[in-house]
Amino acid sequence: MGIASTINQIFGPEIGADYRLNTAHLAIATRGYYIQTEIFRIPERFGVFSPGPPRLQAHQGFLFVIQTVLVAIWGVPAAFGFLLLKYTDREFPMTHAAKLFGLMTFKNNWGEEKVRQG
């Protein structure tokens, strides 16, 4: 199995066209459940993975892949940017960077209401 086929399987759908579960997602969930319960000793009710039916486990494996990709796409560059701002520009304190990040991330509902009323 090459790298391309592995990546294709990891980012593939949970259930294929032939109604079979994605084995990569199922393997991720099974291994995640083992790590969660046996190594970290997290109770099942608080954990991310469950010993439930295979379809549920495939879904949990798929969600784990998506969350990992989202952290890699958004979290790592954001953390790198904040560290870059903190250590390169002494005139731009971190509180301003946090406010800027908040403005970029969240909608300003108060401003939208004012525009609708005016």
pLDDT in tens, 42-76: 998 999 999 989 999 999 999 999 999 888 888 88
Residues of the chain scoring pLDDT < 70: 1, 89-97, 100-118
- For the chain, the structural domain boundaries read 3-117
CA atoms of 97 and 86, how far apart (whole Å): 9
> For 15, phi and psi rounded to 5 degrees?
-125, 125
Residues 6+ apart with CB under 8 A from 51: 33, 44
Output 70-73 pairs: Cβ under 8 A, ≥24 positions apart.
none
> For 95, phi and psi rounded to 5 degrees?
-65, -35
- Kindly state the percentage of the chain with pLDDT values over 90: 32
pTM of the complete model beyond 0.85:
no
Cα separation of the two ends of the chain? 62
Residue-level pLDDT at 60? 93
Place of tokens 């879904």: 59
